C-alpha cells in the first residue's frame, strides 16, 4: 500500500507544479522545444529554442492582412523617467502563457491579461547603481518567473501573484557588471549572462537551479590561467583577467545535440589592442557548451582581436536543411562585425562566411576556419581610422528571423561608415581607451540573405532617414502566413518575405522597440509588438 501511494505521488508531482487538468496553470515543459512553438503559447524570448522567430500560425496571412487591426493597447504608467535613459522603453519580448503576458523594463515586471490588456500585477524593484540600458524579458519554469535587475540580482517571482520567492546576487554592479538578459530555461537549468565594459572585467555565463537559485556552474569567457586551452591567444594572465567577452543576450539550444549556443561580447580594453596582442579567445565568438556542465565543445570567433566594440552576442539561429543531398544541422548569425556566418552546429565548421554590410573592410578576408582576419591598418588610430560599417556595428541586439518557407535569413542592419579613434596609446591601456565618431552616409535596411551562399536576396531601405539605424527598427517575426513583421519608421509593417514588398502597415506612437511575436487565444491569432512605453495587440476582426 505504501509503495502504491509513493508511486501515485511521483506521478502527481508534475500536476502539482503545473496545476491540475489538461491546461496547466504554469508553463508546461513540453512547450520548450526546438522548432515547434505551441500555437497558444510564446514560452521563451525567441518563441522556441531555435531562435528562428518563425511561427507556424497562418490564420493571419497575405489574403487577409489588410484586415489586421489594433485590438488593445497597454501603456506603462506610474514609472518615471529611468536614470540615464529617460522614458521607459519596452525592449523585452513578452512571454504568453495561459492567457497572461509577462514582460519587463529595467527594474519592473508586468503581467497583463492577453485578451484585454488589463494589468494583473506589477513587480517593482529599486536598483542601486545598475545600468538601465534595457531588459529583454523574463524566463519561466512551471509557475515561476525569473528576472534579472540592472544591478545584478537574480529574482524569482510567483507567476500568479508577482510575489517574490527569493533573490540571489549574481553580478557586482560596483565592478560595472550589469544584467539585461532574458533567462533561458534548459531542462533544470536557468541560464543567465552578464554585460559590462567600463572596468575591464571577465564575462561569464551561469546555470542556476530553478528551485533555489543556487549556482550550478559558471563558464568564463576567457581561460582561467595561462596554459589552459585558448590562453595562447593572450599575452599574459593580466590581459585574460580583464578581457571582457560579455554574454548579455539569450542563446539557443539543440535538445538532440544537448548543446547551447551563445554569443560573447567585445574584448577589453575596448578600442585598444596593443596590450592584448592575439585573437583573445573566447571573446567575440559563438560558443557551444554542454548545458549540464558548462564545458566548451566548440567555438567560432567572429571578430578575432576585436578593437571596434563589435559584440558578437547576436542570436545564433538554428535550422535544419538539406544541402547537396545531405540533411544538415546548421546555425546562422548576422554578426555586428558585418559578416554573415552559417556553421555546422554539430562541430562549428563553416559553410558561409561573407560580409552582408558593404565589404567589412576591417578584415583582409577569412582564414581556413572561415573566421575573418583583422586588418591592422583599420584598427583605431589617434587621428582616426575609417571603416565601411557604422561605428556601432552592422547590426545589434534586435532579434533576426529565419523562414523555412523561403530559406532566407532576415536581419535589420545599419549601413554606412564610421571612424574609430585611439586616445590611450600606453602599453597597458584600460577601459575604452578610444571611441568612435561620426556615422557617414547612414542607412538602415531590412536584408534577406540566402543561407546557402550569403548573397543578398532582397533589401528594403526606407528613404529620407538620416540618423543611425534609420527607419528600420526592432526585431523581426516571420510566419507560415507568408508574412514578415518588423518596424519601418513609426509603424509596424508586414512584408512579403519572398521579395520584400510591403503588404500592410499600422502607425504607432513611435518606432518599434522590441521583437514582434504571435500566438492564438480563443482560436484567434494575435500579433504583439511594443513601441516605446506601449504594448500593442493586433488581430483580425472575426465579425
Query: Among all residues, which ones are annotated catalytic?
Result: 309
Residue whose entry in the numeric block shows the C-alpha cell 540580482: 153
Given its phi and psi angles, is residue 92 left (phi above 0), alpha (psi -120 to 50 degrees) or beta? beta
CA-based radius of gyration for the chain: 22
Q: What is the DSSP letter of 61?
A: -
Decide: helix, strand or coil at residue 8.
helix
What is the grid cell recorded at 426? Answer: 600606453
95 pairs with which residues across the strands?
A: 102
Residue with cell 513611435: 510
Task: Tell me how far apart the alpha carbons of residues 150 and 135 are, in angstroms, rounded to a whole number.
Answer: 8
DSSP annotation of 35 reads S
Burial class (CB in 10 A: 0-12, 13-18, 19+), 198: middle
Tell me the DSSP string of 240-300.
HHT-B----S--EEETTTTEEEEE---BSSSS--TTS-S--TTSSEEEEE-TTT--EEEEE
CB of 153 within 8 A of CB of 253? no
The burial of 361, by beta-carbon neighbours within 10 Å (0-12 exposed, 13-18 middle, 19 or more buried), is given as: middle
d(CA 264, CA 203): 8
In sequence order, what are the residues at sequence separation of 6 or more whose Cβ sits closer than 8 angstroms to the Cβ of residue 326?
A: none
C-alpha–C-alpha distance, residues 447 and 457, integer Å = 8
Q: Tally Cβ neighbours within 10 Å of residue 340.
A: 28
Angle at 227 between CA 225 and CA 232, to 5 degrees: 100
Ranges of beta strands (E only) in 142-265 are 144-148, 153-158, 164-169, 184-186, 189-193, 204-208, 215-220, 252-254, 259-263
Q: How many CB atoms lie within 10 A of CB 176?
A: 18
The 8-class DSSP code of residue 81 comes to P
Amino acid at each position: 500500500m505504501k509503495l502504491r501511494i509513493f508511486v501515485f505521488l511521483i506521478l502527481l508531482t508534475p500536476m502539482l507544479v503545473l496545476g491540475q487538468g489538461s491546461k496547466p496553470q504554469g508553463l508546461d515543459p513540453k512547450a520548450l522545444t526546438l522548432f515547434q512553438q505551441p500555437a497558444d503559447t510564446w514560452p521563451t524570448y525567441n518563441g522556441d529554442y531555435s531562435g528562428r522567430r518563425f511561427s507556424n500560425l497562418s490564420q493571419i496571412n497575405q489574403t487577409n492582412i489588410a484586415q489586421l487591426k489594433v485590438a488593445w493597447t497597454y501603456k506603462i504608467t506610474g514609472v518615471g523617467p529611468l536614470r540615464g535613459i529617460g522614458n521607459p522603453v519596452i525592449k523585452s519580448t513578452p512571454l504568453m502563457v495561459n492567457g497572461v503576458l509577462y514582460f519587463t523594463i529595467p527594474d519592473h515586471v508586468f503581467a497583463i491579461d492577453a485578451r484585454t490588456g488589463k494589468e494583473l500585477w506589477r513587480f517593482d524593484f529599486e536598483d542601486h547603481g545598475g545600468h538601465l540600458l534595457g531588459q529583454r524579458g523574463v524566463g519561466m519554469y512551471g509557475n515561476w518567473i525569473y528576472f534579472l535587475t540592472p544591478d545584478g540580482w537574480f529574482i524569482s517571482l510567483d507567476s500568479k501573484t508577482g510575489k517574490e520567492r527569493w533573490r540571489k546576487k549574481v553580478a557586482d554592479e560596483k565592478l560595472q557588471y550589469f544584467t539585461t538578459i532574458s533567462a533561458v530555461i534548459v531542462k533544470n537549468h536557468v541560464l543567465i549572462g552578464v554585460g559590462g565594459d567600463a572596468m575591464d572585467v571577465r564575462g561569464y555565463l551561469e546555470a542556476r537551479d530553478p528551485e533555489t537559485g543556487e549556482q550550478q556552474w559558471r563558464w568564463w569567457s576567457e581561460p582561467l590561467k595561462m596554459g589552459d586551452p585558448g590562453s595562447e591567444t593572450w599575452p599574459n594572465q593580466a590581459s585574460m583577467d580583464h578581457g571582457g567577452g560579455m554574454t548579455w543576450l539569450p542563446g539557443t539550444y539543440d535538445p538532440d545535440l544537448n548543446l547551447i549556443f551563445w554569443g560573447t561580447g567585445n574584448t577589453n580594453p575596448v578600442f585598444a589592442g596593443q596590450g592584448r596582442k592575439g585573437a583573445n579567445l573566447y571573446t567575440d565568438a559563438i560558443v557551444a557548451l554542454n548545458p549540464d556542465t558548462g564545458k566548451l565543445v566548440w567555438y567560432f570567433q567572429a571578430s578575432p582581436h576585436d578593437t571596434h566594440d563589435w559584440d558578437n552576442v547576436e542570436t545564433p539561429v538554428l535550422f535544419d536543411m538539406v544541402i547537396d543531398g545531405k540533411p544538415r544541422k546548421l546555425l546562422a548569425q548576422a554578426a555586428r562585425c558585418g559578416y554573415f556566418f552559417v556553421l555546422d552546429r554539430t562541430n562549428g565548421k563553416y559553410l558561409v562566411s561573407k560580409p552582408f554590410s558593404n565589404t567589412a573592410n576591417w578584415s583582409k578576408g577569412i582564414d581556413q576556419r572561415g573566421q575573418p582576419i583583422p586588418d591592422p591598418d583599420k584598427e583605431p588610430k589617434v587621428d582616426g581610422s575609417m571603416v565601411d560599417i557604422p561605428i556601432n556595428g552592422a547590426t545589434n541586439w534586435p532579434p533576426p528571423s529565419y523562414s523555412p518557407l523561403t530559406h532566407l535569413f532576415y536581419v535589420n542592419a545599419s549601413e554606412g561608415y564610421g571612424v574609430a579613434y585611439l586616445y590611450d596609446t600606453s602599453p597597458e591601456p584600460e577601459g575604452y581607451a578610444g571611441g568612435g565618431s561620426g556615422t557617414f552616409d547612414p542607412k538602415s535596411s531590412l536584408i534577406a540573405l540566402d543561407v546557402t551562399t550569403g548573397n543578398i536576396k532582397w533589401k528594403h531601405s526606407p528613404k529620407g532617414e538620416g540618423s543611425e539605424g534609420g527607419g528600420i527598427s526592432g526585431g523581426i517575426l516571420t510566419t507560415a502566413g507568408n508574412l514578415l513583421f518588423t518596424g519601418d519608421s513609426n509603424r509596424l509593417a508586414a512584408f512579403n518575405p519572398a521579395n520584400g514588398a510591403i503588404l500592410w502597415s499600422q502607425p504607432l506612437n513611435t518606432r518599434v522597440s522590441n521583437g514582434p511575436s504571435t500566438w492564438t487565444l480563443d482560436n484567434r491569432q494575435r500579433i504583439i509588438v511594443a513601441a516605446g512605453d506601449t504594448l500593442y495587440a493586433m488581430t483580425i476582426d472575426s465579425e
